[in-house]
């Protein structure tokens, strides 16, 4: 124990010596409450051994558990087998989900699922240990989901549900809801060091020693990456986690503190004409001063108790976040002299409380479970839209102080009516209040709305390890608070109409799940999802834009196969047709809506000292304009890794990204921009962000 502590101490000293002084102060701030908490407890003894997590060998079977064909759990072993360029890509373990990027590495990812261009997180509810990641009324975009604080090695499972069919999921969950669970304890300490091309450097130290009657988990990550861009990202990241836990996730508690700090340069999407004319390189930037900086600190806790006939779970969190984001998407369209760079600062404190109680009872003589839940969230926000030049403020379009509060109650009942028929029925009630104090008095005010969302899931089976699902449910997403009180465009001073605070969605789904073939888990679903209106606040313009009612119809087919002890295969295919539902001469296509998605992942282990993985991902073409006259080109990538176990506690691995070195787009847009010397009206053009060129990373992992 003493030797292990000395090794850990020396490693921390080396890591800290390479970090910035601000990072050291941040770590000290976390260690002060830790020292106070440590004193009353004794160290581990022979009577108080270290608990060990049992890692599941394959995907958890959902027969008899799931309420739809598109709900599932990805295990820790599956997550560890994935090759990810950035932390957010860990979520691509969800069948049909694409995680992309159109800017510098520190910016929130771009998400695509079920026919949606989800921007930075709208309609994809994402939580980490119960803390909502989506940021409401964000300066850059509604539902902003920055996952750069996530440490993949701490993720023990990913829970996903698609469609608005669960009463526990509220805002942003119409397309899907994801929850990443962090570990309470680790199977020994972990020291990891990685180097690679394009300035990639990463070190990680984590362990969970016994402390009193529980465990103290700590993790420290330092990260740097430039990417292939001529103006390197120079992305510098610091992450720290402290968690004290006792018991298990279903019968115990944990208290956690997390801290993240990042800064970066951005090479945003570039106009196709600038590249084809030779004006800039494929990895070049038109405004090298674009970029940003972000901070996130949180304190959270969860307590759970379970008996044979009931369970209760209560969690609470407080998150302080800051973002300074500088972007230039139109170059010289608005300001031909100084350029169009703008800043979107955002400061907020978010607090939340989630509580649920489940009882196992008898309903009309049938086995039944009833759950009641309560959710509360408050966001205290200061944000703005400013014109800038090389990150220096020129003018302010608007500044706002926003208080957004929501409360929800829900009830859900699951009853086994027959051996081959069960139901899960629920209802959810949400109440929202928005208060905006704007620099332009006409845009100040308050708004409120309530929303009732019923859900019904019918499950037939299992017969021969096969279940059939019929799902129907109502959901919603909230709009930006500034859009609910706006009356005057802050740029043009023209009158505008406020948007609906809560936009309704209705989903229908028919699915089947089977495990009839030994070692193979397959799920097929057909779905339809309607939105009353895709109304969003346009953060880049400081105003709102009302789009039209929409419908998405599609199918998803996912497979997990383990034909041998040493081989696992994930194969997923999805297609969606997204259309506006009203008649308009401009066309019915929804710009950016994803159509076809496919992926194939192979993972090999238990072949002596060798292990490895290959992942092929296909991201199909998309309409970029309503009449479908301009479309993006599909993108196929191949990533992989190969590893060797030096001994029982040490392994080395090499990861390769874009192994075929494809010159494809990570994302495409079609809009008007103006380069220096072009006509004042600008040019309509495709703007793209390239996928990273082929690169390799080598990592040494050691357990202690």
- Tell me the pLDDT tens digit for each residue of 497-522: 898 999 999 999 999 999 999 999 99
pLDDT single digits (tens) 89-114: 999 999 999 999 988 899 999 999 99
**Average pLDDT score over the chain:** 90
Segment 117-130 shows an average pLDDT of 92
Coil, helix or strand for 21? helix
Is the pLDDT confidence value at 115 over 70?
Answer: yes
pLDDT tens digits, one per residue of 275-310: 999 999 999 999 999 999 999 999 999 999 999 999
Q: Examine the pLDDT at 86 and tell me if it is beyond 90.
A: yes
pLDDT band at residue 533, thresholds of 50, 70 and 90?
confident
Q: Is residue 38 over pLDDT 80?
A: no
Query: According to the model, what pLDDT value does residue 298 have?
Result: 98
CATH code of the domain in which 30 resides: 2.40.170.20
Q: What was the pLDDT predicted at 41?
A: 30
Q: How much of the chain exceeds pLDDT 90, in percent?
A: 85
pLDDT digits (tens, 9 = 90+) for 449-483: 999 999 999 999 999 999 999 999 999 999 999 99
Q: Which residue range is the domain that position 308 belongs to?
A: 2-703
The burial of 629, by beta-carbon neighbours within 10 Å (0-12 exposed, 13-18 middle, 19 or more buried), is given as: exposed
Q: Which parts of 175-271 fold into alpha helices (H)?
A: none
The confidence band for 541, taking pLDDT boundaries of 50, 70 and 90, is: low
Strand (E) positions, 248-345?
252-265, 270-271, 291-306, 310-327, 342-343
Structure confidence at residue 104 (pLDDT): 84
Cα–Cα distance, 333 to 338 (Å, whole number)? 10
Q: Which range has the top average pLDDT, 38-42, 248-252, 253-257?
A: 253-257
- Whether the pLDDT of residue 23 is over 80: the answer is no
> pLDDT at position 538, please?
53
Give Cα separations from 153 to 80, 150, 359, 653 (angstroms): 7, 9, 34, 15
Alpha-carbon span 157 to 366, nearest angstrom: 32
Tell me how far CA of residue 91 lies from CA of 134, 206, 575, in angstroms. Answer: 14, 22, 19
Q: How confident is the model at residue 272 (pLDDT cuts 50, 70, 90)?
A: very high
CA–CA distances in Å: residue 155 to residues 181, 314, 704: 6, 21, 19
> Over the stretch 668-697, which tens digit does the pLDDT of each residue have?
999 999 999 999 999 999 999 999 999 999
Q: Report, as an integer, the average pLDDT of 588-613.
A: 94
pTM > 0.95: yes or no: no
pLDDT beyond 50 at 596 = yes
The encoded tokens of residue 199 equal 């300035």
Asked if pLDDT for residue 172 goes beyond 60, the answer is yes
Closest to 357 in 3D by CA, of 417, 311, 418, 419: 311
Encoded tokens for 109? 């990812």
pLDDT per residue as tens digits for the range 221-242: 999 999 999 999 999 999 999 9
Strands of the 71-75 sheet, one edge to the other: 71-75, 155-162, 176-182, 124-128, 131-132
* Domains contained in the chain, number: 1
**pLDDT tens, position by position, 313-359:** 999 999 999 999 999 999 999 999 999 999 999 999 999 999 999 99
Question: Which residues, 6 or more positions from 389, have their beta carbon under 8 angstroms from its beta carbon?
Answer: 338, 339, 341
The answer to whether 237 and 30 are in contact (CB under 8 A) is: no
For the chain, the C-alpha Rg in angstroms (whole number) is 25
Which pLDDT belongs to residue 60? Answer: 80
């Amino acid at each position: 124990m003493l030797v292990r502590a000395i090794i850990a101490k020396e490693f921390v000293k080396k890591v800290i010596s390479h970090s910035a002084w601000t990072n050291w102060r941040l770590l000290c701030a976390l260690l002060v409450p830790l020292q106070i908490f440590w004193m009353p407890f004794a160290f581990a003894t022979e009577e108080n051994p270290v608990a060990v997590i049992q890692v599941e060998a394959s995907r958890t079977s959902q027969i008899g558990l799931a309420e739809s064909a598109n709900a599932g759990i990805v295990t820790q072993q599956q997550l560890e087998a994935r090759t990810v360029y950035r932390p957010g890509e860990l979520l691509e373990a969800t069948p049909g989900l694409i995680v992309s990027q159109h800017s510098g590495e520190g910016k929130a990812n771009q998400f695509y699922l079920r026919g949606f261009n989800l921007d930075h997180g709208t309609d994809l509810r994402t939580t980490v240990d119960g803390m909502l990641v989506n940021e409401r009324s964000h300066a850059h975009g509604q539902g902003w989901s920055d996952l750069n604080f996530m440490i993949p090695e701490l993720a023990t499972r990913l829970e996903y549900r698609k469609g608005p069919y669960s009463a526990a999921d509220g805002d942003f969950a119409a397309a899907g809801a994801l929850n990443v669970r962090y570990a309470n304890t680790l199977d020994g300490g972990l020291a990891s060091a990685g180097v690679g091309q394009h300035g990639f450097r990463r070190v990680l130290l984590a362990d969970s020693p016994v402390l009193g009657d529980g465990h103290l988990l700590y993790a420290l990550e330092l990260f740097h990456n430039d990417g292939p861009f001529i103006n390197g990202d120079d992305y510098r990241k610091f992450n720290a986690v402290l968690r004290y836990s006792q018991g298990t996730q279903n019968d115990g508690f944990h208290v956690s503190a997390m801290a993240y700090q990042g800064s970066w340069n951005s090479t945003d999407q570039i106009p196709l004409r600038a590249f084809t004319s030779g004006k800039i390189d494929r990895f070049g930037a038109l405004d090298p001063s674009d970029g940003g900086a972000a901070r996130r600190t949180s304190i959270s806790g969860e307590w759970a108790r379970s008996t044979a006939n009931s369970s209760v779970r209560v969690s609470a969190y407080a998150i302080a976040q800051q973002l300074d984001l500088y972007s230039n998407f139109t170059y010289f369209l608005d300001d031909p002299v100084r350029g169009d760079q703008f800043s979107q600062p955002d400061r907020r404190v978010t607090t939340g409380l989630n509580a649920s109680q489940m009882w196992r009872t008898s309903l009309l003589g049938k086995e039944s479970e009833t759950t009641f839940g309560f959710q509360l969230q408050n966001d205290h926000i200061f944000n703005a839209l400013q014109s800038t030049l090389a990150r220096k403020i020129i003018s302010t379009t608007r500044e706002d102080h926003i208080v957004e509060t929501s409360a929800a109650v829900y009830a859900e009942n699951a009853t086994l009516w027959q051996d081959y028929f069960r139901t899960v029925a629920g209802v959810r009630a949400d109440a929202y209040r928005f208060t905006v104090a704007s620099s332009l008095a006409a845009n100040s005010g308050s708004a409120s709305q309530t929303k009732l969302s019923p859900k019904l899931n019918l499950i037939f089976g299992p017969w021969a390890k096969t279940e059939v699902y019929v799902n129907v449910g109502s959901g919603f997403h909230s709009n930006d608070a500034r859009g609910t009180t706006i009356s005057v465009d802050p740029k043009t001073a023209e009158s505008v109409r406020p948007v609906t605070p809560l936009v309704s969605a209705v989903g229908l789904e028919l699915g089947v799940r089977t495990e009839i073939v030994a070692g193979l888990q397959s799920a097929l679903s057909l779905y339809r999802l309607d939105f009353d209106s895709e109304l969003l606040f346009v953060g880049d313009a400081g105003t709102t834009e009302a789009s039209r009612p929409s419908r998405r119809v599609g199918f998803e087919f996912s497979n997990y196969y383990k034909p041998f002890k040493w081989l696992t295969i994930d194969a997923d295919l999805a297609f969606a047709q997204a259309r506006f539902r009203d008649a308009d001469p401009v066309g019915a296509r929804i710009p950016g809506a994803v159509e076809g998605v496919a992926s194939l992942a192979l993972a090999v282990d238990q072949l002596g000292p060798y292990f490895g993985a290959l992942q092929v991902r296909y991201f199909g073409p998309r309409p970029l304009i309503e009449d479908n006259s301009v479309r993006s080109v599909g993108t196929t990538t191949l990533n992989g890794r190969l590893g060797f176990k030096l001994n029982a506690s040490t392994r080395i691995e090499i990861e390769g990204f874009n192994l075929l070195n494809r010159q494809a787009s990570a994302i495409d847009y079609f809009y008007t921009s103006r380069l220096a010397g072009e006509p004042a009206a600008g040019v309509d053009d495709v703007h793209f962000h390239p996928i990273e060129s082929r690169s390799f990373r080598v990592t040494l992992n050691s357990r202690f």
